[in-house]
Structure 1
Amino acid sequence: MKRQMKRLTWPSGLLAGLLALGTQTALATDQVTADQVVGEMERVFGVTKGERRNHTKGTCALGEFVGTPEAAGYSRSALFSGKAVPVIARFSLAGGNPKAPDSAKSPRGMALEFKLPANGLQHMTMLNIPIFGAAQPRTFLDQLVAMRPDPQTGKPDPEKLKAFVASHPDSQALAQLMASYNPPPSYANSAYFGIHTFKFIDRDNKTTLVRWRFVPEDGEKQLSAAELQALPADFLEQRLIERSQQGPIRWDMWISVGEPGDPEDNPTLAWPQSRKQVKVGTLTLASAMPQQGTECEKINFDPLVMADGIAPSNDPILLFRSPAYATSFGKRLSGQ
C-alpha cells in the first residue's frame, strides 16, 4: 500500500491549495504546529526526497514586471517604480504527488520572485482560485487527517471526508466552488489570486488594504469534461514551453481596494466584486523550462518575503505559511 499512497492526487475541493508545511513553530490561536502539518502531508502523499512536500510538480519561467503610475499612488514599493523588474516564476499543481495528472481537478499555483534594486526581494505565492479552504491552521490539519489513505484501499475514507466538511464550516465555500471547477488547458489561460489581504503603504505612510490577482492576456479558459478524460497525464509543462516560444506571455496585475467591513484576516471570504479595481502592473514571461536544475527549483517562495511598501495582514493562514515553508525548504536542502 505504500506505493499507492505516494500516487494520490489532490481530491476536488479537499484542502485545495494548501500551501503550508514544516517547522515546530505553533500558533497560539489553536496550537497547531507546522511540523504536524508536514507530517500529515507526508502520510497522505508520501515523500519524494529532495522535493517540495506540496505543489511538488512544477515548471519554471523567466521574465519581468513593470508597474503602472497608478500603483505608485498606493504603494512606495520599488516593485511599482515603472522600471522593469526581473522575475523568476514557478507554476505548479497542488498536492505532493510529482506524478499527478495535469487534468486533475485541483488548483494550480503561480509563485513569483521579483528581484528589486539593492538585492531586495518581493515574493507572491498565488492560486488560481479566489478563496482558500481554511480560516485557521486547525482546519487544514484536520482535513489532512481526514484524507489519510485507508490501508485497505489506498484511498481516503469518504465518510471521514464528509464528517470533516460537516464539522468545519470554513471549508465549505471552497468545497462548493471546486465542485463545479474544471482546470485550465494551460497555465497561460488562468488567473491567479493572492488569496489573502495585504497592506499597500504609500510614501506618506498611508495604508490601503488590498487583494491582488493576475489576469491572463491569453484569456481564462477551462477544460471540458471530454477533454479531462482524453488528455494525457503530462501536458501543462509542454504547453507552457511551446506558448513561450510563440511570444511573450502576459498577465495584468490588478488590486481590489478594500473598504471598511471587508474581511481582512479570513481568506475563505471573498470581497464584493463592486470594490474599486486598479491595474498596478504587467507581468511578462519570455521563456519557460522544466524545473530541474533551473532557477526556480531551489527558491523558497515564502509569501512573507516582502519589500518596503507592502506588508501582511494578520491572517493566521498567511502567517502560518512562512515558518512552514522554511521547514519544507530545509528538508529539501538536506535531501529528505
Structure 2
Amino acid sequence: MQRKDLPGWLLAAGLGLAAPFGMAAQDEVTPEQVVSALEDTFGVTPGERRNHIKGTCATGEFVGLPAAASWSRSALFSGQPVPVVARLSLPGGNPKAPDTAKSPRGMALEFRLPGGALQHMTMLNTPVFGAAHPKTFLDQIVALKPDPATGKPDPAKLEAFKASHPDSQAQAQFLGEHNPPPSFANSSYFGIHTFKFVDATGKATLVRWRFVPEDGEKQLSDEELKSLPANFLEERLIERTTRGPLRWDMLVSIGQPGDPENDPTQAWPEHREQVKVGTLTLTAAMPQKGAACEKINFDPLVMAAGIAPTDDPILRFRSPSYALSFAKRLSGQ
C-alpha cells in the first residue's frame, strides 16, 4: 500500500543512494538501511523503483564538441552522434506524487558509446544536493515517515531533523524559493557532484556540469500550483516532442583550487569558467512501462574512459543501493 503524499519540499534529498566508501564510523550507512527506509516511508510497488518511481522515458542523441577533448578523452566528445536513452522523473516512492509538488525533477541519461561502452549521468534540477553525507539522507527519509494517525510526517521530527542536519538546508531553501517547472523541458539539470575529466595524457580536471534547455527555464505560478491536475508532466513532454526536437546544451564549469570537490551541498562560485561541450537532443518521449528506460539502472558510477568520479561520499554511496533496489524490482519485489 502506498503512503499518502508528502509535502514536496520535504523530498529535498531527491535521489536514491548507495554504499559508502571510506566513511567515518559514526556515519556508516548500509544500502539495506537506505532501501528499507524508502520502503517504510513510501510503501512498495512490487517490481518498481524504490525512489524516483514516477517517470517518463525519452530517446534521442548527444553530439559532443571535439574542443572538449582538451579536458576529456571520452568518446562523448568525438563530434559524432551518440544514442541516448533518457528518463525524466519525480523523487520518492509514491507513483501518484503530484506533478505540482515543490520537489526536485530528475533527468537520467544513458549514453550508448561505440564498442558497447556506456556513460551514465543522473541529475537534478537543483544546483546542490540535500545531503553532504549518506547519514543525512537516511535520517531525512526516516523523519518523513507518515504518522499513522494523520497520514503526514510528524512536524516535531522534521524540525528535529532540520536542526540537526544543516547540510540539508541549501537545497531545501532553493526548492522553497523556486516553483517547479511547467514541463520537464523547462528545467536545467545539474550533475550535482564534482567529476573528473581525464585527457589523453591522463591529466585530470575537476568539473561540474549542467544541461540548459533551449526551450528556456520557466516556473509555474502560485495559481497554477493550486489549479493544475496531479498528472501533466508526462503528457506535456510527449506532446512537446511531437512538435519538434527538445535540446539542452551541456555546459561544464572548470574547477579551481579550493572549490568544493567532495561536498554536493556547496555550489561553486558563479564566475567559474563555463564551456559548452555538446548538445543533447530528445526526439521522442513515451510512458515508461515497456519502454527502453524502464529496466535501466541509472547508476551514476557507470562511466566510460575520460570521465571519472571524485571521492564525494554521496556519489560513492549511491551505486550499491541502486544495485539493491534494482535487484529487488527485477525479482518482482
TM-score between both structures, scaled by the size of structure 2: 0.97
Choose the corresponding residue for 1:77, options 74, 78, 82.
74
1:325 to 306, 322, 325: 322
Cα-to-partner distance string for 1:277-334 (whole Å, 9 max, x where unaligned)? 0000000001000000010000000000000000000000000001010001001100
The aligned counterpart of 2:123 is 126
Checking the alignment, whether the CA contact within 8 Å between 2:23 and 2:313 is kept in structure 1 is no
Deviations 1:50-106 (A, max 9, x none): 000000000000000000122111100001110000000000001110011111111
The one-letter amino acid of 2:180's match is P
Which residue of 2 is the match for residue 92 of structure 1? 89
Matched, 1:159 2:149: no
| Structure 1 equivalent of residue 180 of structure 2 | 183
Whole-angstrom distance in 2 between the partners of 1:331 and 1:10: 27
Return the letter of the residue paired with 1:12: W
Q: Is the 8 A contact 1:6 1:47 kept in 2?
A: no
Mapped contact 2:3–2:146 kept (Cα < 8 A): no
Of the candidates 193, 200, 203, which is equivalent to residue 203 of structure 1? Answer: 200
The code of the aligned residue for 2:320 comes to: P
Residues 100-179 of structure 1 mapped to structure 2, 5 A cutoff:
100-179=97-176
Q: Is the 8 A contact 2:6 2:152 kept in 1?
A: no
Number of residue-to-residue matches in the alignment:
331
Residues 229-271 of structure 1: CA deviation (Å, up to 9, x unaligned): 1111110001000000000000000000000000000000000
Aligned partner of 2:240 in structure 1 is 243
Q: Which residue of 2 aligns with 1:312?
A: 309
User: Aligned partners of 1:207, 1:27: CA distance in 2, in Å?
Assistant: 22
- Counterpart secondary structure, 2:9: coil
Distance across 1 between alignment mates of 2:57 and 2:143: 32
**CA deviation string 1:196-235 (max 9, x = no partner):** 0000001111110000000000000000000011111110
Distance 2:11 2:95 in 1: 18
| Distance of 2:212 and 2:227 partners within structure 1 | 27
Aligned sequence identity (%): 69
Which residue does 2:212 correspond to in 1?
215
Residue 66 of structure 1: SS of its match in structure 2? Answer: strand
Deviation at 1:6, TM superposition (A): 2.2
Match of 2:297 in 1: 300
> Quick one: which amino acid aligns to residue 31 of structure 2?
A
| Deviation sequence 1:28-51 (CA, Å, 0-9, x none) | 422111110111111111001100
Report how far residue 10 of structure 1 moved.
5.1
Alignment partner for residue 36 of structure 2, among 15, 29, 39? Answer: 39
Choose the corresponding residue for 1:267, options 256, 260, 264: 264
2:268 partner SS: coil
Whether the aligned pair in 2 keeps the contact of 1:9 and 1:95 (CA below 8 Å) is: no
Deviation at 1:11, TM superposition (A): 3.2
1:280 aligns with 2:277: yes
In 1, the alpha carbon distance for the partners of 2:172 and 2:96 equals 24
Unaligned stretches of 5+ residues in structure 2: none
**Distance in structure 2 (CA, Å) of the matches to 1:225 and 1:143:** 26
What letter corresponds to residue 193 of structure 1 in structure 2? F
| Contact 1:70–1:278 (CA under 8 A) maintained in structure 2 | no
C-alpha contact (below 8 Å) 1:26/1:33 kept by paired residues: no
* 1:9 partner letter: L
Q: Distance in 1 between matches of 2:314 and 2:148?
A: 31
Q: Alignment partner of 2:323: what SS?
A: helix
SS at match of 2:66: coil
Q: Does 1:8 align with 2:5?
A: yes
Give 1:68's aligned residue.
Answer: 65
> Secondary structure in 2 aligned to 1:241?
helix
When the two structures are superposed, what TM-score results if normalisation uses the length of structure 1? Answer: 0.96
